[in-house]
Amino acid sequence: MLDRISNNYYSKQQNGFILLISVLVVGMVCLAIATSLLLAGIDFSRASLALDQSNQAKALVNACAEEALQQIRDSIPFNGNGNLSLGPGSCTYTVTQQTGQNRTITASGTVGTVTRKVKIILDKITPQINITNWQELADF
């Protein structure tokens, strides 16, 4: 009889040990899933911020390009550079005369760590400005 009670006692201890190990394993799996979700959320936030900064930089570079075109409209012989600071970023532009009425405008807009650039080629200024090429440049 003592043998039976002793076996029953150890059987209950084994069941408790198995339950404890099972709870620990399930807890570790849940912790791993939660950590993965948090890291994925952080990566998503970083990508979202970079996309937002990229869109703002594009708007800035286009604003600088339009400012350069306005400078040419206001003063046909305009050559030179300028800059704008709008919101969280800034941009610069340069107007260079090629031959005759040909002009090249290069503009660059930066927000945070993101920079966007455009190059615009004009082949005629009077009586109207004629843009032959408006191209975004890759940043190398």
Q: Write out the two tokens for 27.
A: 């807890």
Whether the full predicted model's pTM is greater than 0.75, yes or no, is no
pLDDT tens string 39-94: 988 888 888 988 999 999 999 999 999 999 999 999 988 999 999 988 889 999 99
Long-range contacts made by residues 73-76, C-beta under 8 angstroms, separation at least 24?
73/129, 76/125, 76/126
Please tell me what DSSP assigns to residue 103: E
CA-based radius of gyration for the chain: 33
Helix extents (H) in the chain: 2-74
Please tell me what DSSP assigns to residue 75: -
Check residue 45 and give its pLDDT.
Answer: 87
Are 108 and 60 in contact by the 8 Å Cβ rule? The answer is no
pLDDT at 7 over 80: no
